[in-house]
Amino acid sequence: MPHAACQTVPANQGGGTRRYPQVALDRRASFWVSAGVVAHTLWTSAAPAMTYRLYASEWHLTSTTTAAIFAIYPVVVVVVLILFGGLSDQIGRRATMLLGLGALILALAPDVPWLFVARAFMGVGVGLTTGPSTAAMVEFNEGGAPRRASVVATAAQAAGFAAALIVGGALTQYAPWPLHLVFWLLAFLIAALFTVTWFLPGPAESGAADGWTPRLPSVPRRARKAFAIATFAMTTAYTHGVMILSLGGQIAHDLVRSPNTLVNGSILAVFAIVSGVVSLLAKSLSTRTAMTAGAAASGAGMGLLAAATASHSMALFLSASAMTGAGYSLLFLSALDVINSATPVERRGGTLSALYLLGYLAVGVLAPILGRIATVHGPGVAVYLGAGVIGALSFATLGLASGLRRVADDERR
């Protein structure tokens, strides 16, 4: 059980009175609450995955419209990160996470226009919480194993992803109100996260002395080489979401030939489950080894996915899901390692937001393109193109990973 501890906070910081909870969670509980906020970002992203085909059937949507519903989310995340990416370095991790979680409670959708609105609100919430929650995990982990925050953040994302697919599949298939209950559950979980996040302690307010003024997320000059490498790894990892969440449900349906969303969701969840397991097994790997192995696994997984689509082989599809899950995990883990080791604490929130910004930007660009191609030329062609793009990103990341040791040496100088 999380422990609560009374905390005395200075009445004046940076020339202004700041109010904190009279009772605050201890460092260990705060770490896990922050991990819960990290987990919700992938749950939120994947929440509609198993309902896309239902929307398309009941509301007569094309693949282009479905992809647009998916894409509005990362596009809004990108806009929020551009406008508010450095917010948590100015007003604090806790305050920024609370703003984001509050926005997500509004994410309910009775029809197609409101579905776009709901996904936009989801994007606002995730854009505000994704960088600060990851940064808070690093800061609350001080004194623990250096890689622990990155490993747990990767596992938390995988857990949120798997829960969205499996729980969402079960509720969509067997529970009443299949177009809404998934989102009511998500709203309930976010409300619970909001409540416990309220009790995060003052140390989560690092960098909050001067209040907030709008500014773009930025990267310290000394961390820019590391940031460039981490960006390729993160972008490669995040573009997997387009294949799994936007097209994966249709691919799984066509291969399994099952209308049962729980079965299809469980098949897609192989990606997330393998991702979580690999993140826990990779604790002893060096950052360079993890990034190299992740890029190789990602490229191999895309090859298997293309082969599964061409041959309609379920065994190849499951292999592709597992391989890409391993690749995602190792790429995400190594990207966080690179940023966390290269960025000073007072700039970490903005730098992580800039990293996520580019990852979500790639998703927001690729999803509607593949959706349009799927509408005009069929989902198979979209899969081949998407696999080719992600394979190319994987190859580029593989080459950049070889320079990690030299970049690390430069950062120490």
Residue 17 CB neighbours (<10 A): 8
pLDDT surpasses 60 at 112: yes
Q: What is the pTM of this model?
A: 0.79
What is the spatial distance between Cα 279 and Cα 411, in angstroms, rounded to a whole number? 26
Residue 412: pLDDT band by 50, 70, 90 thresholds? very low
User: Which residue type, as a one-letter code, is found at position 278?
Assistant: V
Residues pairing with 13 in the sheet = 16
Confidence (pLDDT) at 255 = 67
**pLDDT tens figures, 366-388:** 888 888 888 888 888 998 999 99
Rounded to 5 degrees, φ, ψ at 168 are: -60, -40
Residues pairing with 25 in the sheet = 4
What is the spatial distance between Cα 343 and Cα 340, in angstroms, rounded to a whole number? 6
Query: What ranges do the domains of the chain cover?
Result: 22-208+219-412
**pLDDT tens figures, 277-305:** 999 998 889 999 999 999 999 999 999 99
Q: Over the chain, what is the mean pLDDT?
A: 81
Q: Do 125 and 77 form a contact (C-beta atoms < 8 A)?
A: no
Higher pLDDT, 377 or 108: 377
Q: Do 385 and 92 form a contact (C-beta atoms < 8 A)?
A: no
**pLDDT tens figures, 134-147:** 989 988 987 777 68
User: Is domain 22-208+219-412 classified as CATH 1.20.1250.20?
Assistant: yes
